[in-house]
Structure 1
């Protein structure tokens, strides 16, 4: 079970969406408040690169999802390196989580207190809070 400090960030990600939440409660009393995400760059095409689709290459939609995950990692890396966040929990669809991990900066890895391999982007804040407690 993860007890997040006040101000900790929770990122909920899938291949197309990012939701950021800040803990406005104290440790042991989780209260997530949604935060603005800003723009996510998909210029970094992730591990797939820009290739025509074939059986040997990921589909265009998979490349787009990988690029989105790389863009999310870039946003999280910048937030954490800026020093305004002490703790981070990432909840992501399993494949997206794998792609995110490829792009973690060492600063992000050091402040990462939990990962949940689950797609919760369309779920309520209560469901997300339960997942954080279970992390």
Structure 2
């Protein structure tokens, strides 16, 4: 993949967001860390202790239960949406292109929160769950990636 110099490479998952700036050659990018955010990992019992809901039908003795809410996933989605807003803040004063690397679910949450100007500067969206703290493997993956 041809990576423009001074592009922003943003790697996001449910617990971390790392932003890099590209240096080096177009086909062999080097990544320089700019910004990093971490979501503190909470236990499910710290997020909530409620039981799944129950429903009753007035005309029959049948009872039903509702599915348990995935509190960890809700927390990850909240963090990813906050990071999308942070990306929007950073990119509002910049004209750099963006390469976004995120898990498919996180990518969907991020897309909802990005404005049209930021979306227009997206050079690539890579739906891959990649460890945001690994700069060298990420640069190698970008060099080999085809759009």
TM-score by length of 2: 0.71
- Tell me: CA distance 1:38–1:32, structure 2 relative to 1, closer, same or farther (3 Å): same
Which of structures 1 and 2 has the bigger CA Rg?
Answer: 2
The Cα of 1:29 is off from its aligned counterpart by 3.8
The Cα of 1:124 is off from its aligned counterpart by 3.0
The Cα of 1:68 is off from its aligned counterpart by 0.8
1:77 aligns with 2:76: no
Per the alignment, residue 49 of structure 1 pairs with none
**Secondary structure class of the residue paired with 1:102:** helix
Number of residue pairs aligned between Structure 1 and Structure 2: 122
List alignment gaps of at least 5 residues for structure 2: 40-49, 53-65
The Cα of 1:57 is off from its aligned counterpart by 7.2
List alignment gaps of at least 5 residues for structure 1: 41-51
- Tell me: CA distance 1:111–1:53, structure 2 relative to 1, closer, same or farther (3 Å): farther
Higher mean displacement: 87-96 or 56-65? 56-65
Are the equivalent residues in 2 in contact too, given 1:53–1:60 (CA < 8 A)?
Answer: no
Q: What CA distance in whole angstroms lies between the structure 2 residues aligned with 1:78 and 1:33?
A: 20
Give the alignment's Cα RMSD to 1 decimal: 2.4
The Cα of 1:34 is off from its aligned counterpart by 1.2
